[in-house]
Amino acid sequence: MNDRVKLVLASGSPRRLALLNQAGIEPDVLMPAEIDETPERGELPRKLALRLAQQKGELVALRAREAGMNAIVVSADTVVAVGRRVLPKPDVQDEAEHCLRLLSGRAHRVFTGLCVVSARGRARTRLVETRLRFRRLSGEDITAYLASGEWRGKAGGYAIQGLAGSFVVKLTGSYTSVVGLPLAETVALLQGEGFPVRTGWSERAA
């Protein structure tokens, strides 16, 4: 087994990779975790986000160990909720339209569960809650956004880092968490595991 601890991102999301890169961190391996994300009966949004993040992390950590890797695994899952109602990650336009109409002119919450599994297999988790309010969306707003395709597979049917950023009139909490990976909490957990998060920072100098 290679003694150097590698960093594995349990996701194929380009958004999560870009966020890690923003913090000067380059994972050694991308290893998406395909799991059933269906909420359990009566499961609250915050519990769902944490459960899915931990399941993803532990699954990928097992795969990494089976592959002989000495690795720290980072995983996350983002859930958009109106009250106790979990909004889908729509793959069809009708679902996305329903989400946008529901979010129009009202407040909602975004929960991102974060999990870091150490090289010894210990899972540490965090939950980050962010509150947002959308402006009232016109029919033209919704039609144009649906045509963009940015909503596909995104929690709540929107991507805040894209065109939907223009929908947000108030955000309280972590912007990076809404994008998909809360950076402050991720860096803190990695540092707690002894991962050298600042190694690449000097290379950013102009």
State the catalytic residues. Answer: 77
Evaluate whether 90 touches 153 at the Cβ level (below 8 Å): yes
Length of the chain, in residues: 206
Evaluate whether 73 touches 62 at the Cβ level (below 8 Å): no
CA–CA gap between residue 187 and residue 174 (Å, rounded):
14
CA–CA gap between residue 164 and residue 96 (Å, rounded):
13
CA–CA gap between residue 77 and residue 178 (Å, rounded):
10
Per the structure block, which two tokens stand in for 167? 């929908």
Q: Of 60, 6, 2, 1, whose CA–CA distance to 193 is shortest?
A: 6
Q: In which region does residue 194 sit, left (phi positive, over 0), alpha (psi from -120 to 50) or beta (all else)? A: left
Q: How many alpha carbons lie under 13 Å from residue 170 in its C-beta half-sphere?
A: 13
Sign for the CA dihedral angle at 60, 64, 70, 71 comes to negative
- Report the Cα 13 to chain-centroid distance in Å: 8
